Amino acid sequence: MAWLKHRKWAGACDPDQKTRGHANKEADNWNAYGCDIDAESLLDTAHKMVDFGFRHLGYNYVILDDCWSNMQRSDNGSLVANSTKFPDGMKAVSDEIHSLGLLFGMYSSAGVYTCAQYPASLGHEEQDAQTFADWGVDYLKYDNCYNQGQEGTSKLTFDRYNAMSQALNKTGRPIFYSMCNWGRDYPWNWAQTMANSWRMSGDVYDSFDRPDDRCPCTTYDCNLPGFHCSIMNIIGKAVSIVDKGQPGAWNDLDALEVGNGGMSDDEYKAHFSMWAMIKSPLIIGTNIPKMTASTYSILANPAVIAINQDSAGTPAYRVWNRDADTDEYGQGSQSLWVAGLSGGDYAIALLNAGNTSAELNATLEEIFIDKATTGGGAGSGALPSSSGWDVYDLWANRMDDVTANSILQGNATVNGTIMDTSNSTMLYNATEMAYADGIKENHPALLGAKTSSVPAMGSISATVPRHGIAMYRLRKQEGASKKRDEL
């Protein structure tokens, strides 16, 4: 029921209020529950987020999606929570979520109806924003259904979404503003000044790479975003716009499908890893109270989360993309992705979207190609490729099923009372030590497992499973630099 995004979001759309550095972590109900949601199930999710240690990992928001209101506004024009689903009202839900140390998110649409045909906020922006603020809402997902044709140019869409941005700011309450206009009219070019995130594609579905005619576009330049967009479809659309994301304003690749049953474990690992690398908000979209150990150990991998939460906030970019053997859907590729991290570290991902396991290789020259071709290149001093690098596998310390099941069954906790996180290779508590500080302290759960060292001008190789990923943190070896002319 909840959606998790990385780190706290503060502020609606005022650039001065936006959180710097990190994408958000949240939990949202739509992928797992649809309209079948009420106060009991929402609050059960919130409590389980705390019990399972998600709050300690930085998953801060519990987000209520569509279908929460009456079908009609009140006599004074206000939105009204459905009294059958939420008998104590929305403020009581908000108060309980806040009492758990979590933040509360809600949903509306920049149209006359929500996507499920409940009352929405077009023309009611100030009234609805104040209602949300009065209820203690900390986050607003703002959809794009029934928009009265007010799209087709960037200016039309900007004005429609900016009306709610201004209304949220006018309330004086910090509310994270999540635009959900599916990439229509290129929000990555203009939303940074009035929103904290924007959806850049049609809706995701639980498939790694199966094409679907209802998601007709394969690039960002799309007039019909559609829905049923696969993981690889969305990654392909993000390739050209990754640089548009920045601290406080993020490309949102949509909620995570991890745990919903349509993909293999390797595919879910690749899905989660790539969302983290591109710095999408991480939004848990599965049934948290009923999740399995394997789902938990993916969503709770602190070494991967630390890449998403890196204080530099730099999204990964694709260095190369190559054809590979195709699967039953005619899809197949292999790619190298690189992200610069704070403190001089780097993250790399070798993504095998081919149909069979493959040995993938990335040279240091490929990994650091930007350093050689921008900012003065080789003339500006020794290049990173002329140094040795230590390689840390970010999935090597994945939590085992026994430990995960112990947490999920309530036989262990991750808050330090039963399971100590101070020197664990699997567990981390970001409420005690921020990710940035944990990296500085070389916390083993964040670094991953050191698996090799690469000499200057060397390469990294990995056997990557079908529809799988190898993901590493690279850390420069001290005193290992050599000038290029000495090699």
The residues annotated with a catalytic role in the active site are: 143, 203
Tokens 């499920």 correspond to what residue?
A: 116
Closest CA to 42 of 22, 17, 72, 67: 67
Query: Within its chain, how far is the Cα of 368 from the centroid?
Result: 25
CA distance 68 to 177: 19
Q: Would you say 394 and 303 are in contact if contact means Cβ atoms under 8 Å apart?
A: yes
Q: Would you say 104 and 97 are in contact if contact means Cβ atoms under 8 Å apart?
A: yes
Strand runs labelled E in 21-153: 25-28, 61-63, 103-109, 139-143
Phi-psi region of 385 (alpha: psi -120 to 50; beta: other; left: phi over 0): alpha
Phi-psi region of 415 (alpha: psi -120 to 50; beta: other; left: phi over 0): alpha
Burial of 16 (0-12, 13-18, 19+ CB in 10 A): exposed
Structure tokens at 203: 């809706």
CA distance 242 to 313: 11
CA distance 20 to 228: 32
CA distance 341 to 323: 28
CA distance 168 to 18: 13
Cα angle 355, 357, 361; round to 5: 115
Structure tokens at 349: 């991902």
Q: Would you say 55 and 42 are in contact if contact means Cβ atoms under 8 Å apart?
A: no
Structure tokens at 11: 């502020």
DSSP-derived secondary structure letter, 179: E
CA distance 72 to 77: 9
Structure tokens at 126: 């100030």
Q: Say which amino acid occupies 471.
A: M
Q: Would you say 153 and 185 are in contact if contact means Cβ atoms under 8 Å apart?
A: yes
Structure tokens at 52: 């399972």
- Work out whether the CA dihedral 85, 161, 187, 156 comes out positive or negative: positive
CA distance 137 to 129: 9
Closest CA to 317 of 274, 270, 272: 274
Q: Are strands 250-252 and 197-199 parallel, antiparallel or unpaired?
A: parallel
